[in-house]
Chain A
Amino acid sequence: MSTGAPALIRPGLGGGLGDVVRARFLLKLLVRKELKVRYRGSVLGLLWSYVKPGVQFVVFYVALGVFLGLEQSPTNKGGLPNYAVYLFSGIVLINFFTESLGNAARSIVGNGGLIKKIYLPRELFPVASVWVSAVHFFPQLVILVLACFLTGWHPTLLQLASAGAGFVIVALLATGLGLLFGAANVYFRDSENFVDMLLMIATWASPVMYSFTMVQEKLGNAWYTLYQVNPLTVGVEAFHFAFWLPTTDGSAGIPPHLLSFWIPIALLVSIAVLVLGQLTFRRLEGRFAQEL
């Protein structure tokens, strides 16, 4: 029987992220389950994905734009023009990152019951977390685009491409860090708290609420360069270039060499983080079942 039987193989040695591609049907089901289960029993349901960033936006806009004078107005010439769009384009991207990484870091421990009993590519769980966040991100993007059109948005193809690049940079970074901290969390539950702290810093360590020129002015060029190495910073700047800049007269400008230098660098850094995350994950996953 079973002519041409397959060779003997060692079970439990997965092919990493490649296995996730092969198990895309399961990935799809996991994402669908997560989307369905997330807001179970709540009246507003998926609307919460709009309400939370909406409220966050209003709070930041009033506090920073109006009270702290970051928005340009007839009495405040030094502020940023069309600050609302500036702020919101950064917030949607940072929220995508925060949600992805926060959930990915908890995904392995959260699915411990399954991982302990059945072998499946464990990378599925962090990847599914990022995917779910991308689904939540999309409607926010639609709102952003509407707001842009209301304020006279005429993007070029290059600017649209840079938005795509910004999204890819952040998605890769979140997946890489999610694999890293998700695996570490199995051994040390401190990992998820560390991630929470990191996410709080992330919101402020990229030019979401303020202009990159402030960093350059206050900290000088050396620190500014370090600031720019953060892929998240470049992702937010790419979004500003795509969504905010075309709604202004363009005089505020974007960081020099953003397209020719920083976006490729950020892509490389994100890919490096992803590789590092995957390698760490592979090293640690052999003992997941007994440590969970």
Chain B
Amino acid sequence: MIPEQDLINRCLKGEAKAQKVLFDRFAPKMYGVVARYFSSVEEAQDALQDGFVKVFTKLHEYSGLGSFEGWIRRIMINTSLNLIRDNLKHQYHQDIDEIQEFVEDENQRYDHLSMEDMLKLVQEMPPGYRTVFNLYDIEGYHHHEIAASLGVSVNTSKSQLLKARAYLRKRIEKLNQDYHGQ
């Protein structure tokens, strides 16, 4: 295993082999990240592709401080957001008065869901819910960061998150009923 800094230096020189090694090292993880933001494989792979092109063309901007994987991950997320931002504008143009309080069901358990189930559930969410849920609950962004990167208000981000969770819970409940009903 080539040390990370060595690999980065060789990529900066444009060595095709090193670029492939770097891609192979991070592509599965990063595909795992971007796959959550899109409903189709094609869109997700487009985002992955654009993201890696940015990684390689902006590699000289990586300061060497902080995790390299984290840096790549941020590029992937930003690339994904750029691709879906246009769709989101319409999604979030909903009436803010609609905000309701959602009761958190702390007793519900989700251990029985496999990774594949979860990915499928996330991918099938409406894009507006999906994006905020991914950013807040999975990546751990703050509402003000989400609001800034999506160009919406903090309140919109908060309400979308609550709606997204409620939507997911409903879907899982339905899945469980279907499963037990058989």
Q: Do A and B bind each other?
A: no
